[in-house]
Amino acid sequence: MSAPARQTQAFGKSAPYCERQAAEAEEARLDQEAARLAALDRIDMLDTPREETFDRIARLARKLFDAPIALVSFIDAHRQWYKSSDGFGQSEAARDQTFCRYVVEDGNSLIVPDATKDARFHANPSVVGAAHIRAYMGVPLKTPEGYSVGTLCVIDTKPRNFDREQLGLLDDLAQLTMDELELRMLAAKDTLTGAMSRRAFKDEGRRATALALRKHDDLSCIVLDLDEFNAINEQHGHVAGDAVLTAVSNICRAKIRSTDAFGRLGGKKFAVLLPASAIGDAIDIAEELRAAIGDQPVKFGEGNVTVTASAGVSALDQATRDFDTLLQNADTALRQAKEAGRNRVFPVQPGPVERKSAHRRVLKGGQIVFNAGAARIDCTVRSLSDEGAGIDVSSTAGLPRRFDLVIKADRLEKRCRVVAMTERHIDVEFEPSAE
């Protein structure tokens, strides 16, 4: 056989082999990303209120490196969400437009001295636009299992060279951030207020919901949020803010029964779980808590401050059969109370009684596909059932009312019909497959 023939045969054998290798590599990447998102879900930090603990870390990073911007962020399937944003006005950014995606995807630190000279970033909207990003230093926030769930980064609007010593200091701050998260996951009580921790409250909520469903008992939930709390911190300082949070916790725990569960969901938001209580009873208790909070000025030092609270109330019913939905419904009612003027209690509006399979809470990467496959938008699937899904996107502007949802890690592709839509969230029903 001639040399050209041997070369042709070798090439013919290698093409399928290379394709198989590429397919295996993509499958491994999808599995790794699914495991990373599961680790992020266990931390349970996405879309939680801002907290002084993480704001302090961002402020320290900004001052330590004399940089105008510092961010503590977590990255899901479609966005980078800022738990703390010091010097930067946005709350999130599309994942594919961020510097930090490279840190999370590679699992390694990244230094960019001048973004205008870096092929990955020179056309980035944050570089060519008003943000005017030039220099970047970011390190991964890694779980003990090694999953990069987010980043701690500092950003400058002029080119500069960060050195290895500075990178090491930033990595130390990142480790402190993860230590705080690990302690929270282990802690059963919030250290400031004495309320149940967010994780402990959710664990108790799921246990209580399963018990109530098994026994056909009532179960209600109150989500309570302090009104205009940031103004207290700004006018009187964080010492006063901490005093208010502690006082509110004490008031609530004194008013509820020993069988009720009281937890701090984060920031200035609390929740009460009320076993064997119908929604009417829960509304009465929420009103009692709201009145008690407003009637008791909180003393700190030589001063005092008055605070009010808004609350949302929900209960198990034929359309609400799991704790995550119960809590989400109460939170929705809380937002309505805030929008109606604050210092009031709103119950959730009753939903349809048609029984459908319950959505389970998930955190999965997906794609919205339309225009015969020509348009693809990354999304994060937050809830899923046999009949539909809840999907987060950076923006719903321009999305059609019907599209395909693809979850590659699950080998799932479903034709969807939009049933509800907000600025960044879509609820869909799956359409029957064509026979």
All structural domains of the chain, each given as residue ranges with its CATH number in brackets, are 52-186 (3.30.450.40), 198-347 (3.30.70.270), 360-430 (2.40.10.220)
- Distance, CA of 7 to CA of 9 (rounded, Å): 5
pLDDT at residue 350, rounded to an integer: 64
- Distance, CA of 278 to CA of 271 (rounded, Å): 16
Going from the C-alpha of 144 to that of each of 41, 243, 250, the distances in angstroms are 15, 34, 35
pLDDT at residue 380, rounded to an integer: 98
- Distance, CA of 225 to CA of 237 (rounded, Å): 19
Contacts (Cβ under 8 Å, ≥6 apart) of 190 = 196, 197, 198, 249, 263, 264
User: And the tokens for 344?
Assistant: 């009031």
pLDDT tens digits, residue range 219-231? Answer: 999 999 999 998 9
Phi and psi for 2 in degrees, rounded to 5?
A: -70, 160
pLDDT of 83 higher than 50: yes
pLDDT tens digits, residue range 241-260? Answer: 999 999 999 999 999 999 99
User: And the tokens for 148?
Assistant: 């990069």
Return the DSSP state at 306: -
Q: What is the mean pLDDT of residues 360-386?
A: 94
pLDDT of 238 higher than 70: yes
Indicate the pLDDT class of residue 434, thresholds 50, 70 and 90: low
pTM of the model: 0.81
pLDDT tens digits, residue range 182-204? Answer: 998 889 999 999 999 999 999 99
- Distance, CA of 127 to CA of 115 (rounded, Å): 7
- Distance, CA of 103 to CA of 124 (rounded, Å): 16
Residue listed under structure tokens 């921790």:
197
Closest CA relative to residue 379, chosen from 370, 390, 392, 389: 392
One-letter identity of residue 409: A
Beta strands in 31-183, from DSSP E residues, in sequence order: 69-75, 79-86, 92-94, 110-112, 135-142, 148-156
Cα torsion angle, 241, 52, 60, 114, sign = negative
Phi and psi for 310 in degrees, rounded to 5?
A: -115, 155
Contact 391, 368 (CB under 8 A): yes
Indicate the pLDDT class of residue 349, thresholds 50, 70 and 90: confident
- Distance, CA of 72 to CA of 45 (rounded, Å): 11
pLDDT of 351 higher than 80: no
- For helices 323-339 and 198-215, the axis angle rounded to 10 degrees is 110
pLDDT at residue 357, rounded to an integer: 57
pLDDT tens digits, residue range 127-141? Answer: 999 999 999 999 999
Contacts (Cβ under 8 Å, ≥6 apart) of 196 = 188, 189, 190, 204, 261, 262, 263, 264
Contact 309, 293 (CB under 8 A): yes
Phi and psi for 405 in degrees, rounded to 5?
A: -105, 125
pLDDT tens digits, residue range 44-66? Answer: 899 988 888 999 999 999 999 99
